[in-house]
Structure 1
Amino acid sequence: MSQKVVIERVQVRGAAPYLGMSATPDGQQVPLYSTNPDIVMRWLCDGWRCRYNQLRSRRTRWDRNTQSAVPLGGKPDMRSDRQVRLECSWFAAIPAMVLQSPNRIENTDWWSANKRRKTLKKKHRNPGMTPRFKKRRDDLYFVCWHNKGANANYRQLNRRHGEVVITGQNPGAYRLDGQPCRYSIHIRVRVSQPVRDYTSVGVNWTRRTLVFVNDPLPIRRERTGAMVGLDRGCVHTLATSDNRFLDLPKQRLERIDREIRRRQKAQARRIAMSGETVKQYRRHASRTYERTGREISRLYAKAHRIIDDWQHKTTSMLVREYDLIVLEDLNLQDMSRKAKAKPDPDRPGAYLHNGQSAKRGLNHALRSAGLAGIVEKLEYKTRLTGQNRLILVNPAYTSQTCSKCGHCAKENRESQADFECRQCHARMNADLNAARNILDRGLDHLIGLDEAEHARTESDVPTAYSSRDASALTCGTSTR
């Protein structure tokens, strides 16, 4: 977990950092020094990325042609940090806590990506490409270990501002006469809450943000004995079993979406007027086209921040108010897939109508709602409290089953919002009805767990049990 803050400005104090050797017009190599904050920060980011890629080059991938494992970079770079400093002059003055951080981060990134690929393969999904190198076009980024105060120390300046100080020194062979050898980079940040103990800082110089990597705060709460079932959807983001709707700020998101579409149309007009394809035009795109693309990226990022903020506030509220939270275990990736093409048997090369136009709107709504993020945040927040329990249940027929009499029929749901039971004639909102059914399935699962536990303790023989209605996933307090 982390705390993200905004970088306001950067100052370089003390010695001018040694950035490496530079060639003069007559071909001579001279040492290069600079106190320009932008140049120094780019130097740290480039050094961190280069060291990360050197470590990544040691990884291997499976070559189908030779049926063997081959290095990603062709020739692995086996040099240590010390050797890199000696052989590459522009690495010499990079702080040790910055140069050492790629060792652990690259290892963590590699194995987490491979674990994700294995999981996708088991689910018969496309695992994607083997993890590769960090590219120049990626965000300028570096990490500096805190190491119990060895570097990247934070100092509070006033109520809203503080600074992170990263220190380093120039090597003995490149120190200027009469000047100090040590330098310090003061990164002034704006904070909105006290900075907790952290293990490292991550600086994104492209976006001007700094992240303190630390443990999340536990959520303070008291047992309430309350239980809730949650139905996720596009019209209402969350519908609760106690007759509440929790919705995203859709007016703000729709306004941002309109701005994105307006700028995308402007880009499309420029391409159409050029008479070239998109790929051809982007090779020599105008500055206005590139600027519009950056504006679109900023708008997308703003929408994602709004959704993330709402999800954090809503899930924290749910964890504080309810001891048991039950959700439906939706397969969102399959729900948002494209419709399969239907070839026309009478016309070779032609296709029949498959409803993709209507499906495109549903896919956009599902992705915009960010339904998967709600489960992810509830999972780790229920673990933090140690008092909550989160259960995911099978969503099949929850929207067609009456929560009062249990009658299940497709005709019960007249439309997206209206539900009327054909047997007991109970009328209610379809999402609220589904939320009640979800809670009932969660309670049935808990009863099944208690019975299995009771039978196990009586026989004193370990019993393996599973429930499709609960997807075998329970987070928070242990069931034993």
Structure 2
Amino acid sequence: MPRGTNDNDQQFRAIITGHLKTRLMDAWRDSTDTFERLPDGTWAPAPYDENMADGSTPVAWEDVADPMDPKPDRTGCALVTLEDAEDHHRVLLVKGVTSFRVGMPGISMPGGTTPFFVPFLSHYARSDIIVIMSQKVVIESVQIRGAAPYLGMSATPDGQQVPLYSTNPDIVMRWLCDGWRCRYNQLRSRRTKWDRKSQTAVPLNGRPDMRSDRQVRLECSWFAAIPAMVLQSPNRIENTDWWSANKRRKTLKKKHRNPGMMPRFKKRRDDLYFVCWHNKGANANYRRLNRHHGEVVITGQNPGAYRLDGQPCRYSIHIRVRVSQPIRDYTSVGVNWTKRTLVFVNDPLPIQREASRSIVGLDRGCKHTLATSDGRFIDLPKHRLERIDREIRRRQKSQAHRINMSGKDVREYVRQPSRTYRKVQREINGLYAKAHRIIDDWQHKTTSMLVKRYDLIVLEDLNLQGMSRKAKAKNAPGRPSVFLPNGQAAKRGLNRSLRSAALGGIADKLEYKTRLADDSLLMLVNPAYTSQTCSECGHCERNNRESQAEFHCKKCGIRMNADLNAAQNILDRGWRQLSGSDGAGHATMTQDVHPAYRGADAAIGACGTSAS
């Protein structure tokens, strides 16, 4: 069994092509809505043809919207190209079947490399969120040029309504953020929820706001001078947020996981934020000033009725930013005024790599963040994170001391905290953000290195939410109000380690980077008993794991690090799945995980097959 490299290119390509064909034909056989594209461009029904399925080879797989529907279904379809022995191509449209599109390792063969794609299981079914990448920069200063923006009508102490203008950058930026949040909530109020009592769909807040952008400009004075590209952005963003949450909840329910809450309204205590469309240069234009600085210019116009004497109607907001790399083409900018950051929303750059014909298995854990099947440990910079954690704990202790000395309840004190309390709380928030940036930076660098180095990356499909769940309470027999020890105190430390390691981010970044990179694939396998199975002889026993770091096989006697042993088992399971020799079904290449693959039966089957 090869580990780390693959010397037989012909066998490797034949295995992957055969696996793709099997998955495709199963989807075609199970689907009732399959069509074939005719030479004139129209579509005709295509029932399952066994002769065509056996004599053709899939050469491309792509997720597309339904071309025959004027209002395409959001779930999409699979567009598949088949090639027969005479090099004739036939295009099939399989409805109701979607997948992530991932480039498979290209094998250098006579005649070149053939591109083909396979269905792929992501750790989180949030492709619409993962695909949207960006470039984040820091805002250094803001200037208002031209006219003073009209902020709306303001009431004087005697009750009169007077127009309000300002050239203060902080006031203007807060005005844009508040206006964007208000319009977002107006659109969100149109959504409905299911009322169990009346058994009908009712609006979220009882009063849906059906006004258009033009109507709110006329009826709400604070919207009158907001740039059109800012006022229009909540329409699409709110719609994307709503349906993404519905899709995520549906996926999590299929996996028998907690779907979470439905999206809610934006709150005032949230970060001050707004989005402005770029729209091919219509607004939010970026201009480079020097090597490390640039500015984004957002333009707007005051209504003619509220134009100040001696001033023009138009105003411009110049946001000076600090950049570290060239800004790529973008579709919009997102401004977080609370954190003083600006995001250029654009597509990520694919990782430039060459086919290495090497594969690797990765084991994620708390002691060692990543253990590879070729005998390496890749860890987070724990000394830096531990130092930050000590600083956070020290400040939290001083905060608790201030609350105790005040003699007030925690909730009462937080409503009107002291100036020192607010200052220290900002320091704590800054330290938390710094730790998150360190983890995110390490994950990006590590995952990029892995994608460049390996053609196939095999990762365990961990249920991180279930692993970090609280232990169930144990009631004493006959005494409902008395609880027995359930191990929650010991599990609290494990849960903290799992959250601090941020293991889910590794799978997210590997997913989209392998999808964008040429000749790269990420595969998820069932993690059951990978830490108790010997990677040499296949013997599976609980006592093989003597400690967290030590693995000692009771059958063949081999001793090795437990994480390295698990990484080799993960690689073996991925290889057996590709070759079709793994009867227990350790890995899956479909988007939805069957409940049996996460239950006890699958775990027992995995252990039995490994030992056989």
Q: TM-score, normalised by structure 1?
A: 0.93
CA offset at residue 28 of structure 1? 2.2
Query: How far apart, in 2, do the equivalents of 1:84 and 1:240 lie?
Result: 57
Q: Are positions 1:9 and 2:141 aligned together? A: yes
State which drifts further: 291-300 or 102-111.
291-300
Q: Read off the aligned partner of 2:452 and give its amino acid letter.
A: R
Which one of the candidate residues 282, 285, 294 is aligned to 2:417?
A: 285
* 1:477 match: none
| Matched ranges for 1:207-246 at <5 A | 207-246=339-378
* 2:575 match: 443
Q: Are positions 1:25 and 2:153 aligned together? A: no
| Matched ranges for 1:20-59 at <5 A | 20-59=152-191
Structure 1, unpaired ranges of 5+:
452-465, 475-480
Q: Are positions 1:160 and 2:324 aligned together? A: no
Map Cα deviations across residues 290-319 of structure 1 (whole Å, 9 max, x no partner). Answer: 332222222111111111110000000000
CA offset at residue 24 of structure 1? 2.4
**Count of residue correspondences:** 459
Query: How far apart, in 2, do the equivalents of 1:32 and 1:271 lie?
Result: 40
CA offset at residue 143 of structure 1? 0.3
Query: How far apart, in 2, do the equivalents of 1:143 and 1:284 lie?
Result: 32
CA offset at residue 410 of structure 1? 1.4
CA offset at residue 209 of structure 1? 0.1
Q: Read off the aligned partner of 1:468 and give its amino acid letter.
A: G
Which one of the candidate residues 565, 578, 585 is aligned to 1:468?
A: 585
* 1:392 match: 524
CA offset at residue 135 of structure 1? 0.7
With over 3 angstroms needed to count, the CA separation of the structure-2 counterparts of 1:185 and 1:467, relative to structure 1, is: farther
Q: Is the 8 A contact 1:445 1:467 kept in 2?
A: no
Query: How far apart, in 1, do the equivalents of 2:490 and 2:396 lie?
Result: 21
State which drifts further: 428-437 or 345-354.
345-354
* 1:294 match: 426
Query: How far apart, in 1, do the equivalents of 2:416 and 2:442 lie?
Result: 40
* 2:230 match: 98
* 1:250 match: 382
Q: Is the 8 A contact 1:392 1:473 kept in 2?
A: no
Q: Is the 8 A contact 2:300 2:316 kept in 1?
A: yes
CA offset at residue 473 of structure 1? 4.8
Query: Superposition RMSD on alpha carbons, in Å?
Result: 1.6
| Matched ranges for 1:126-137 at <5 A | 126-137=258-269
Instruction: Give the ranges of 4+ consecutive aligned residues of structure 1 lying more than 4 Å apart after TM superposition.
Output: none
CA offset at residue 25 of structure 1? 2.9
Report percent identity of matched pairs.
Answer: 81
* 2:461 match: 329
Q: Are positions 1:192 and 2:309 aligned together? A: no
Secondary structure of residue in 2 paired with 1:6: strand
Q: Is the 8 A contact 2:370 2:377 kept in 1?
A: yes
Which one of the candidate residues 446, 471, 475 is aligned to 1:339?
A: 471
Query: How far apart, in 2, do the equivalents of 1:18 and 1:115 lie?
Result: 40
With over 3 angstroms needed to count, the CA separation of the structure-2 counterparts of 1:435 and 1:69, relative to structure 1, is: same
Secondary structure of residue in 2 paired with 1:201: strand
CA offset at residue 116 of structure 1? 1.8
Map Cα deviations across residues 188-228 of structure 1 (whole Å, 9 max, x no partner). Answer: 00000000000000000000000000000011000001110
Map Cα deviations across residues 349-382 of structure 1 (whole Å, 9 max, x no partner). Answer: 2211111111000000001001011011111111
Query: How far apart, in 2, do the equivalents of 1:354 and 1:441 lie?
Result: 34
Query: How far apart, in 2, do the equivalents of 1:467 and 1:48 lie?
Result: 52
Query: How far apart, in 1, do the equivalents of 2:223 and 2:542 lie?
Result: 67
Structure 2, unpaired ranges of 5+:
1-132, 592-612
State which drifts further: 333-342 or 127-136.
127-136
* 1:122 match: 254
Q: Read off the aligned partner of 2:570 and give its amino acid letter.
A: I
Q: Is the 8 A contact 2:152 2:221 kept in 1?
A: yes
Query: How far apart, in 1, do the equivalents of 2:407 and 2:195 lie?
Result: 41
Query: How far apart, in 1, do the equivalents of 2:514 and 2:292 lie?
Result: 31
Higher relative contact order (CA 8 A, sep 6+): 2
